[in-house]
A and B are shown apart, each in its own frame.
Chain A
Amino acid sequence: MLRYFVKRIVWLIPALLGVLFLAFFLIYLLPGDPASTMLGPRATPELIKALQARLGLDKPVWVSFGKYAWGIITRGDLGESVWSYQPVSSLLMQALPYTIILAVSSMIIAITIGIILGILASAHEGSVLDLIITGFSLIANSIPNFVAACLLLLFFVVFLKLFPVMGAGEKGNILSQLHHLILPSFSLAISWIGYIAYLLRSTMLEVFGSDYIATAKSFGIPMRYIAYKYTLKNAIKPVVAIIGLGLGNLFGGAVFVEVIFNRPGLGKTIVDAISARDIPVVQGGILLIAILYVLANLVADLSYAYFDPRIQYE
C-alpha cells in the first residue's frame, strides 16, 4: 500500500511542475502587453514600467519563472495582489475555508441522499417507486449547479422568502452560517445526488445477478440482509471512487455557486480577480485549486486501492 502511495506521488511531481508553469505563463497569454492591459487605457508609462518590474515582466521568462517557483516552494509566496498589495497567499487562505466547507457539505448531502435513493430503487426494482426515483435521478443529474442555484434562488428566496440571499452568514454565528450554507450546498449536490443514485442502482442490480448472491439466497439468507449488507459492500466500490473525483470537481463547480450566492470563497475570489485583471491572484488561485484537485484525486485512487487490494498490483 505504501509503495503504491509513493509511486503515485512520484508521478505527480512533473505534472505539478507543469501546472506551476502554466499558472506562471498565464500573464504572457494576455493579448498585447500584459501590464498595459491590466492597468487600462489611462496608465502612464511610469506606472506601466513599475508594474512590469513588480511582475517580473522585464526579465527573461526563465528568470522570472525561477524566481516565482522558488518563492512558492520555499516560502509559499505567491506574490501580491496588483491593486491591494495584499499577499496573495493570505487572500487565498482567507477564502479557502468557505470553499472547503461548501464542497464537503455538498458531498455529504449528495452521498447520503444518493445512496439511500439508489438502494431504495434497486430493492424495489420495477415498481412505481423505482420509476420515480430513476426518473428523478436522471433529471437531477442533468441540472448543472448554476442552474440549480438560480432555480433554488427563485423558489426559496424570492417566492418563499425563506432563505437569505447573499453572503456566508455572520462570523461566529454558527446557525447563521449554516443557514447561508444550505442553498449553495444543495445547488452543488443536486446533480451528484442524481448521478450517485443512478450509479448505485445499476451497480446494485448488477451485483444482485451474480452467483454469490444466488448462493446466499439458496442458503435462505433473507432479502433485506442480502440487499443491505452483501450487495452494498460490493456495489459501493464505484461510488467510493466517484466520491473522491466528486470532491475534486466540487472545488471547480463551487465557482458558480459562490458567485451566485456571493460567498467569499476561492472561486469568487478568482472570478473577482479576473474582472479586476488582478493576475497574480488568478495565478495563485488556480495553482491552489489544482493542488487541491490533484490531492482529492489521489485520495480517491488510494481509497479505491484500499477497498480492492488487487488494484495495487496491476
Chain B
Amino acid sequence: MGKELLSIKNLIVEYLTIRGKVRVVNKVNLTINEGEVLCLVGESGCGKSTLGLSILQLLPKSGKIINGQIIMKGQNLLELPEKTMNEKIRGKEIAMIAQDPQRSLNPVFKVGDQIIDVLRFHEGNRDQRDRSTKNILQPSRRKALWKQKAINMLDKMGIADAGDRIREYPYQFSGGMKQRVVAAMAFISNPSMLIADEPTTALDVTIQAQIINLLKDLIKEYKTAVLYITHDLGVAWEISDQIAVMYAGSIVESANTESLFKKREHPYTEALLGCLPGNMMRNKTQKKHLNTIPGQVPNLIKPPSGCRFHPRCPYSMRICKEQQPILREVSPGHSVACFKKESR
C-alpha cells in the first residue's frame, strides 16, 4: 500500500495482579503501513487490547511496558514525554475508539462540548487565521468555527439534526449513536492512524453493520491507517487488508486478508476458522456440531513452556514444548510462528 507508518518492535507488557506478574504482550513485532487496515484478531484475554493501549501509553496503573519500541515517523513513541503525547499524538496523529460506547462519554457535559474539547486542545494553541482576510481570529470566532466543524462531523457520522443534537447530553443518545459521536471525535483532527478496539462488540448486530459500514467509508475518505482489534473473524474479513492473529500474547500468524483465509498456516488460525458457523457444513461427520478448540485459554501467569499453543495443538512435536517459535515468512507477505510449518 503505502510506506511504513507505525512499527512495533519487541514489545513486552506485563500486568501486576493479586497472583503475580502476567506477561500479556510477549515480544510482539508488528507493522502498519499508511492507509492500510490491519486487523488484530484473537480471543478475549490474548493481549490485543493491551497492545492497542500500549501504543498510546494508556495502560492502567497495574500495567508496565517492560521493553520494546514503537516507531512512528522516525520517532519512538515510548520515549516521548507525556505532554508531547497529549498534544501531538493522542487524538491528533493517532485516535482511538474504545469498546463500550455506553461509558465512553462524560455524562455531565454536552456532546458538542466534548467534541469541541478535542479540537481545542490540538488546534487551540496556534493562532488560527481567517481564510478570507488572513487576520488572526478572535476567540469567539474561533469557537464558532469549532462548533461548526463539530456539527459537520456529527452530520457526517450519520446523526440527523446535528445542529440541535450538539447541545444534548450523552444519556439522550443510543449506544450506536454514542459510538458515532466517539467516531466524530476521532476523525475530527484527521489522524493518520486509528486504533479501533472492538468498537462494535457492545452493540446490536444490526447497529454493528451500520457502524462498520460507516467506518469503511470514513477510512476510504480519510485514508487513515487502522489497527482494528476484534475477535470476530467475519468483521476482519470485511474490513481489513492485513490480518495478524494473536494468541496468548504473541503474534502467531500475519498475512494479507485473502491469503490468510485461503491458506491458514498456523494451527490456531486453522482451528479458529474451523469454528465459524459456516464451516459446520464442511464437517465430514454427519453430526452438526459447532467446532471448538479443545482445551482452555492458557494461564498467563504460568504459561505453557515453549510454544504457548502446544497443549491444544493437534500437530505438536517435541520441539514445540521446548522452544518458542518466531514469526518467519513462509510465502510472500505471509508469516507464521510455528515449527511445523517452518520445516516445510
B117 and A215: CB pair below 8 A? no
Which residues of A have CB within 8 Å of B121? 220-222, 225
A190-224 to B contact mask, C-beta < 8 Å, 1/0: 00000000000000000000111111111111110
Which residues of A have CB within 8 Å of B103? 210-212
A86 within 8 A of B: no
Contact of B89 among A210, A220, A221, A222 (CB under 8 A): A220
B81-122 to A contact mask, C-beta < 8 Å, 1/0: 011011101111001101010011111110000100110011
Min Cβ gap A28→B in Å is: 52
A residues contacting B by CB (< 8 A) are 210-223, 225, 230, 233-234, 310
B109 and A220: CB pair below 8 A? no
- Give the complex CA separation of A310 and B108 in angstroms: 12
Using A210-B103, A211-B103 as known contacts, say yes or no to A220 and B108 having CB atoms under 8 A apart.
Answer: no
Contact of B106 among A222, A223, A230, A310 (CB under 8 A): A230
A215 and B87: CB pair below 8 A? no
Min Cβ gap A130→B in Å is: 14
Contact of B91 among A213, A220, A225, A233 (CB under 8 A): A220
- Give the complex CA separation of A19 and B175 in angstroms: 49
- Give the complex CA separation of A222 and B90 in angstroms: 10
B182 within 8 A of A: yes
Beyond A211-B103, A221-B86, A234-B106, 8 extra complex contacts between A and B, CB < 8 Å: A212-B104, A215-B105, A218-B58, A219-B185, A219-B186, A221-B117, A222-B121, A225-B117
B56 within 8 A of A: yes
B residues contacting A by CB (< 8 A) are 56, 58, 82-83, 85-87, 89-92, 95-96, 98, 100, 103-109, 114, 117-118, 121-122, 171, 182, 185-186
Min Cβ gap A238→B in Å is: 13
B85 and A215: CB pair below 8 A? no
Which residues of B have CB within 8 Å of A212? 103-107
Which residues of A have CB within 8 Å of B87? 220, 222
- A-B contact list, 19 entries, CB within 8 Å: A210-B103, A212-B103, A212-B104, A212-B106, A215-B98, A215-B182, A218-B98, A219-B91, A219-B96, A219-B118, A220-B87, A220-B89, A220-B90, A220-B91, A220-B121, A222-B86, A223-B86, A230-B109, A310-B171
Min Cβ gap A220→B in Å is: 3
Closest to B93 in A: A220
- Smallest CB-CB A-B distances: 3 pairs: A220-B90, A219-B91, A220-B91
Which residues of A have CB within 8 Å of B171? 310
A-side binding surface: helix, strand, loop or mixed?
A: helix
B100 and A211: CB pair below 8 A? yes
Min Cβ gap A228→B in Å is: 13
B58 and A220: CB pair below 8 A? no
Q: How many A-B residue pairs have CB under 8 A?
A: 68
Which residues of B have CB within 8 Å of A211? 98, 100, 103-104
A218 and B90: CB pair below 8 A? yes
- Give the complex CA separation of A214 and B98 in angstroms: 9
Closest to A237 in B: B108
Contact of A217 among B58, B83, B109 (CB under 8 A): B58
Which residues of B have CB within 8 Å of A210? 103
A220 and B105: CB pair below 8 A? no
Contact of B107 among A216, A219, A234 (CB under 8 A): A234
- Give the complex CA separation of A213 and B103 in angstroms: 9
- Give the complex CA separation of A220 and B117 in angstroms: 10
Closest to A310 in B: B171
Closest to B100 in A: A211
Which residues of A have CB within 8 Å of B56? 218
Which residues of B have CB within 8 Å of A230? 106, 109
A215 and B92: CB pair below 8 A? no
- Give the complex CA separation of A168 and B182 in angstroms: 58
A215 and B95: CB pair below 8 A? no
A215 and B104: CB pair below 8 A? yes
B98 and A219: CB pair below 8 A? no
- Give the complex CA separation of A225 and B120 in angstroms: 11
Using A230-B109, A234-B108 as known contacts, say yes or no to A221 and B100 having CB atoms under 8 A apart.
Answer: no
- Give the complex CA separation of A95 and B98 in angstroms: 59
Closest to B169 in A: A309
Closest to B170 in A: A212
Min Cβ gap A202→B in Å is: 16
- Give the complex CA separation of A221 and B185 in angstroms: 12
- Give the complex CA separation of A310 and B169 in angstroms: 13
Considering residues A216, A217, A233, A234, which has the most beta carbons from chain B within 10 angstroms of its beta carbon? A216
Min Cβ gap A227→B in Å is: 13
B58 and A233: CB pair below 8 A? no
Using A220-B86, A220-B121 as known contacts, say yes or no to A214 and B58 having CB atoms under 8 A apart.
Answer: yes
Min Cβ gap A3→B in Å is: 20
Closest to B188 in A: A219
Contact of B90 among A213, A217, A233, A310 (CB under 8 A): A217
Which residues of B have CB within 8 Å of A216? 106, 114, 117
Which residues of B have CB within 8 Å of A223? 82, 86
Min Cβ gap B123→A in Å is: 12
Which residues of B have CB within 8 Å of A214? 58, 98
Closest to A236 in B: B108
- Give the complex CA separation of A218 and B117 in angstroms: 13
Which residues of B have CB within 8 Å of A225? 117, 121
Which residues of B have CB within 8 Å of A218? 56, 58, 90-91, 95-96, 98
- Give the complex CA separation of A216 and B185 in angstroms: 10
Which residues of A have CB within 8 Å of B106? 212-213, 216, 230, 234
- Give the complex CA separation of A211 and B95 in angstroms: 16
Min Cβ gap B196→A in Å is: 12
Min Cβ gap B97→A in Å is: 9
Min Cβ gap B298→A in Å is: 27
A220 and B122: CB pair below 8 A? yes
Which residues of A have CB within 8 Å of B85? 220
Using A214-B58, A221-B86 as known contacts, say yes or no to A233 and B95 having CB atoms under 8 A apart.
Answer: no
Min Cβ gap B125→A in Å is: 11
